[in-house]
Chains A and B, each alone.
Chain A
């Protein structure tokens, strides 16, 4: 039986870790962007971003004040035995993490009435049922400067490779300097409209450099990366080489009449943390 407390503590720690310690793959991508850059202005900005990560980690301050809406991906083993409500435990964990970690509470209870809940809950929780008895939890705190630049394109089934590439590039162009470039782009292709958006978000939990699983989408991800960097939006949109740090694509089957393409853009502070709660006998 997996206890409420085990889940609450795991989620609490993931919220804090994700917000204070930038993922190693993202730090590495920023570092290599700095190495390739030669304009003094852009170099200075990239150095500040890297220093920001060290300060955040060592002084235990959030990387960014927008500590996001907590998006939680749950890969739930269908034979896992859990004490009480899993959703309630996850939300309690988010509330504890945002309180104990001095993270910003950015959630309002109603989109129109806009009253802050004061706990950063409820979280957005996605469940996937898998074989097994363990629970894998990934917390992705998503800031809304970049979330606001999300796009869904319902392309024709005949659209093909080039039109997908152009749609994603269009989304990057529209984000422009606003969402804290250099960006990591999550792309979801296929499924229905909702699933494509889900896959685009989930693609951000994959490491920078993952690109895609299928070879043809890997080629596509690399092409988007190359073309996106020709925009020269640069760090903070103030010009320079890096516009995109990475492009990750997740895909699935779709309908004969459509080709959904969703784009979820992340700022350079792409934050997530993962833990696996093993099953226990009893």
Chain B
């Protein structure tokens, strides 16, 4: 199937796949976070930032030394991804989520500093669940291993911090109809329990 089938909202196959999925716009509001329940499949549209292992390490070191972060994380959605390179003329390469658990040691501090939503794959540790509950955040999982499919849901991509990290740099992405599942909601309920 060509890309048009998954990008074109008038295509019946697209409609069938996406029917009954609720739209959520980014930046995410507290009101929307409160209304989302673990297990719900939703479509995200709007701007988010990316960051994985090395970015989490750097953010944490900066916060501990009370240094300013290169990007604002307050109210932000962070997507754990290291995309493959974009081909000439393309916006981005494959861009599916990476394992959330590797960010567990860092996430509570970021959440405490205003980070609202995280997108990854797989489960999270107890301390992350507790921080989500306490500061009313949310953890989504996207479709791990569907890197090509998710690339078609990215409208723009730009490196905004740590370009030397290559695929691990902080990108700002604009996504549309980006499929995710609420894995841990703001009450601390998890689909993995």
Listed in ascending order, the chain A residues whose CB lies under 8 Å from chain B are 41, 44-45, 47-49, 51-56, 58-67, 102-106, 114, 116, 118, 145, 148, 176-180, 236-239, 267-269
Contact = CB atoms under 8 A, between A and B. Distances in A.
Contacts of B141: 177, 236-238
A65 B93 contact: yes
Given A48-B143, A52-B149, A177-B122, 18 more contacts: A47-B17, A49-B146, A51-B1, A55-B148, A56-B148, A62-B148, A64-B96, A64-B144, A64-B147, A66-B96, A103-B84, A145-B121, A148-B99, A177-B141, A177-B192, A179-B99, A236-B181, A238-B181
Interface in B145-193: 145-149, 151-152, 166-167, 179, 181, 183, 191-192
12 contacts: A44-B41, A58-B1, A61-B84, A61-B147, A62-B93, A62-B147, A65-B82, A65-B84, A102-B93, A106-B82, A177-B122, A177-B123
Contacts of A51: 1, 5-6, 17, 146, 149
Contacts of A58: 1-3
B85 interface: yes
B130 interface: no
A41 B19 CA distance: 11
A68 B152 CA distance: 21
State the main secondary structure of chain A at its contact with B: loop
Interface of B: 1-3, 5-6, 17, 39, 41, 54, 81-87, 90, 93-96, 98-101, 121-123, 141, 143-149, 151-152, 166-167, 179, 181, 183, 191-192
Contacts of B101: 178
A114 B152 CA distance: 31
A238 B83 CA distance: 23
Contact of A104 (B93, B121, B145, B151): B93
A238 B40 CA distance: 10
A64 B142 CA distance: 13
A239 B183 CA distance: 11
A104 B148 contact: no
A103 B179 CA distance: 23
B87 A267 contact: no
Given A65-B94, A178-B99, A178-B101, A105 B167 contact: yes
B14 to A, nearest CB: 10
Contacts of A116: 166
